[in-house]
Amino acid sequence: MLTVISPAKTLDFETAPTTRRATQPAFLDAAAELVEDARGLSPDALRDLMGVSGKIAELNHERFMNWSTPFDLDNAKQAVLAFRGDVYTGLEAETLDSAGLAFAQKHLRILSGLYGLLRPLDLMQPYRLEMGLKFANRGGANLYAFWGDRLTRTLDRQLGKSGSRVLVNLASNEYFKALQPKALDAEIVTPVFKDLKGGKYKIISFYAKKARGQMARFIIDNAINDPEALKDFDVAGYRYSRDESAARELVFTRDTPP
């Protein structure tokens, strides 16, 4: 069983990593091509493309200009420890022990606009390049065109090695669209997290993102390789709702945030 999550805009390259174990991204050469294309954009062009402030555009222009290989622990950091944001607040990867990191390395994947597909301990240098951007590149009009079916084919091979042909989708729609589900020889299971608001259970983005990270951590802590075990998720007040769920969409509801 594999689980996919999204990356985060917020990064932490200041805090020392909790492990020296590190691996290299599978699509590093492809990432270098995208970096080369991004270097052709001025800070003003990046600002318009990303819809960010001039300061953030300058920062990311500098990141692209400084990006270089080979990656090592002096110039890069393990992806699962470098990303911050709501999903990673829920995941709390910095508290994983060696066994937890080993399980995550085998069963967790991070979808990325720049790096394509990352294992938790794959090294990365700082960047911002969201999958849904209309970033014209040598592969086409956007990043979906650039990655094509490469991520799907790679995931399909890795699913075969995971011990279960189940893909748990904890990624956002923007990132999951980079995959081609019909080409995967897999059962796709999507957990959904809803909170009670105005008398109805609704997806509230902030809470749902954190819950995706908490679910990923639940899978790691319990070494889950059977989707039925996902229904036992009972973190932060969420409970599995049989009535709200479908065969491949597991809904978890909560009445009051902690």
pLDDT at position 27, please? 98
| pTM for the whole structure | 0.97
Distance between CA 145 and CA 134 in Å, rounded? 10
pLDDT at position 68, please? 98
Under-70 pLDDT residues of the chain: none
Cβ partners under 8 Å of residue 87, min gap 6: 5, 6, 8, 170, 209, 210, 212, 213, 216
pLDDT at position 258, please? 75
pLDDT at position 161, please? 87
pLDDT tens figures, 148-158: 999 999 999 99
